[in-house]
Every structure is written in C-alpha cells, then in structure tokens.
Amino acid sequence: MLSLPRFFRDRRGVAAVEFAFVAPVLILIYMGLAEVTMALMAERRAGHATAAIADLIAQDTLTSKTEIDDIFAIGDKIVAPFASEGLTLRVTAIQADNNGTPKVVWSRGKGALGGLAKGATVTGLPADLIAANETLIFSEMKYAFNSPVRYVIPDALTFHEKYYLRPRKLEMVNCVDC
C-alpha cells in the first residue's frame, strides 16, 4: 500500500506530465510556423504572377482583351498550387500628358480589380516615376489567402502588390479593343 508521504516523494512520471503540458504549445507553434510559411509562399507567388503579367505586356507591341485574359490565365498558373480564386489582377497602360499628369490609356482587370476608366487620372504613383509624355505599364494584384489548416490564421490574409514597367519595344503598348 502506498502511503501519502511516499506518494509525494515519488518522481516517476514527472517527465510525462511536463511533456503533457508542453506538447500542445509546441504543436501550436509548429502549426503556426507551417501556416505562416504557406502564406508567405502564396504571397510570393501572387507577386511573381503580377510581375510576370506586367513583363509580358511590356514586351508586347500590340495587345487585345483576349491576349490579356490569356496572360491573366498564366498568372493563375503561376499561383498554383495555391487557389487562384482569391487572385484579382489589373494591368493598365499609363501615359503622362504634356503637364506630366498620368492618364489611363487602356486598362483591363480580372476579378474585383476591374479596369480603370479610359482617360482617368492615375493617383498614387511614386514621385518622379513618370515624366511628361512618357508611358508605363502598371500591374497590380490583390490576393486573399485562406489557410487550408486555419489553426493559427483563421481568416483570410490579403496581400497587395504593384509593379511599374516601361514598354520595351515601342513607346506605348496599345490595346486594339480595350
């Protein structure tokens, strides 16, 4: 029979009890690191898709809605294996007028980021990015990442990215039907 003083002196099983307290915290930290790593990978792929879209348009001389939609489909493939449903994209050709005010020449969007109105003034560009009569290809994305595990990140994380590229072959990449 086990006496009470002997019970309190017995140290067998202390490691198992300590492990039972520490294990859930360590598992939660591990799951959190895995989820954060997946979110960072998704953000990086979405940013790469946005840069690739701007680069493909900037290398073109003439484009169309169909070609831009095909390029958007390439962006969806770049995001894989992450879901492309949360990826919204927009590509815009911008030209500064004689006063240096940037205006939309044409714009096309996919998802919630619709195209900008032709002739609209573009705001929010970095200072001294575009001078009078210069052109830019402006690509932007918004990506809502939903973790498949949702232990540490229960809600969607939204990432934003913007890229500015100069047309490579001509002064302006025109769109025939935008």
Decide if pLDDT at 7 tops 80.
Answer: no
Tell me if 60 is assigned to some domain. Answer: yes
Exposure letters 103-120 (e unless 16+ CB within 10 A, then b): ebbbbbbbbebebbeeee
Tell me if 3 is assigned to some domain. Answer: no
Residue 57 CA to residue 152 CA, distance in Å, equals 38
- pLDDT one-digit tens code per residue, 44-65: 999 999 999 999 999 999 999 9
Q: CA angle, 94 as apex, 90 and 97 as ends, to 5°?
A: 155
- pLDDT one-digit tens code per residue, 117-158: 999 999 989 988 999 999 999 999 999 888 777 666 778 789
Tell me if 7 is assigned to some domain. Answer: no
Reported in sequence order, the residue ranges of 2-156 that DSSP labels E, i.e. its strands, are 62-63, 87-96, 102-110, 135-145
**Count of structural domains within the chain:** 1
Domain containing 150: what range? Answer: 13-175
Tell me if 40 is assigned to some domain. Answer: yes
